[in-house]
Amino acid sequence: MECSIYYFYCQMCRYFGRLIRFKSKSMASQFGPRTNSANSMDSQGQNTSLQRLHHVEKRVVRVLELAGGVMDELSNPTGPRVEVVNNHCREFMQSIKDIQVTLREEIKSACEYRPFEKCDYSSRISNEICCKKLEYVMKQLDDMKQSIERYDSSV
């Protein structure tokens, strides 16, 4: 029982930390400079995104309440009621899954339509792929050169 509470606590802290980091990035991008009407469309999308994140924040609070309820049950002098603990644990895990899905969707949508500032990930990956292709071509050319040299030496 003690191990599962520790697991729930770790899960809760991890997801709550992700929520805070993501929400602070969303808030920072929301209050950035706006210059044209295309940005107003982004603003509307960000408002709904922030509303969804606010809803996730409320669910995180509920998760904290569930964890507290389990702790209260475990500290009950007459002993924990297994059914109550199981119900709280089940709701906790379902809430964590819902939070995780929502955060993944928000992160995915943020990355799809608005890349992060100074992000060079795609160019770095593209360069690495080109380097690997070039290395492969060079190896093939070396192999061809060796084959030609062997053929010339045998003739």
CA distances from 27 to 16, 19, 21, 32, 110 (A): 16, 12, 10, 9, 12
- Report pLDDT digits (tens) over 46-94: 567 788 888 888 998 888 888 888 888 888 889 888 898 899 889 999 9
In terms of Cα–Cα distance, which of 116, 125, 124, 121 is closest to 21?
116
Assessment of whether the complete model's pTM goes beyond 0.85: no
- Report pLDDT digits (tens) over 30-57: 444 444 444 444 555 556 778 888 888 8
CATH class of the structural domain 2-118: mainly alpha
